Amino acid sequence: MSTLILNIIKEQSKELRGTQRQITRDRAALEKQEKQMEAEIKKMAKSGNREACKILAKQLVQLRKQKNRTYAVSSKVTSMSTQTKVMNSQMKMAGAMSTTAKTMQAVNKKMDPQKTLKTMQDFQKENMKMGMTEDMINDTLDDIFDESGDEEESQDIVNQVLDEIGIEITGKMVRAPAAGKSVPSAAAASSKQATISDDEIERQLRALGVD
């Protein structure tokens, strides 16, 4: 917005405020005269001077009309002041819109739609790759944990069988039981627990794959 226009609006607003104050002072003076004239009319009426009362009454009517005109003028001044404020706001808004439009033009000139589209496509592609990689890592970890769980479960079964036949394992198992070889039941092992021989113990360990 031009500085000259701003100065004009500022000066006009100042003049309107001054005019409004002057109108208020004039109205106060007229009201004071009105009261004095009313008192004078009452005084003339008490003294019986009818002619003086008529003259003062006419003057009072004119004075009251003049006072009422001050209200009309004050209303117009207020309206003009409001219009000036609205015009000032509109000009400021126009200036802001102009600045915004220039900024948008500058951004649009520097922004390449094709390049922006390619960037978005590349981002989507890399995001999909990252998701696939994350899924593969999660699947691998799940397999590892599942295998670990199976090994622990197998170890628990072996320990249970050995415990049933009265053998305590202190070493580490290095391989799983051979396929096709059966493990003695708990009932049979329990019946032989008291008389089991060293050869039988070694045979059971070999059957479980323990060296």
Per-residue pLDDT of the chain (211 residues; tens, 9 = 90+): 467 777 787 888 888 888 889 999 999 999 999 999 888 888 888 888 888 888 888 888 999 999 999 998 988 888 888 888 888 888 788 888 888 888 888 877 777 778 878 888 888 888 888 878 877 777 777 666 655 555 566 666 666 666 666 555 444 444 444 444 444 444 444 444 445 566 776 676 666 665 5
pLDDT recorded at residue 187: 45
Backbone angles phi, psi at 112, to 5 degrees: -100, 115
Burial class (CB in 10 A: 0-12, 13-18, 19+), 115: exposed
pLDDT at residue 5 in the model: 74
d(CA 94, CA 115): 33
Q: Locate the domains of the chain by residue range.
A: 3-111, 137-207
> Looking at residue 179, what is its pLDDT?
43
Contacts of 159 (CB under 8 A, 6+ apart): 169
Q: What is the pLDDT of residue 173?
A: 44
pTM for this model (two decimals): 0.42
Please state the φ and ψ torsions of residue 180, each to the nearest 5 degrees.
Answer: 90, -10
Report CA-CA distances (Å) from 127 to 60, 130, 132, 134: 90, 5, 9, 11
Q: How far is the C-alpha of 209 from the C-alpha of 176, rounded, in Å?
A: 6
Residue 9 Cα distances to 4, 77, 86, angstroms: 9, 15, 11
pLDDT at res. 57:
87
| Torsion sign (Cα): 30, 32, 34, 37 | negative
pLDDT at 82 (0 to 100): 87
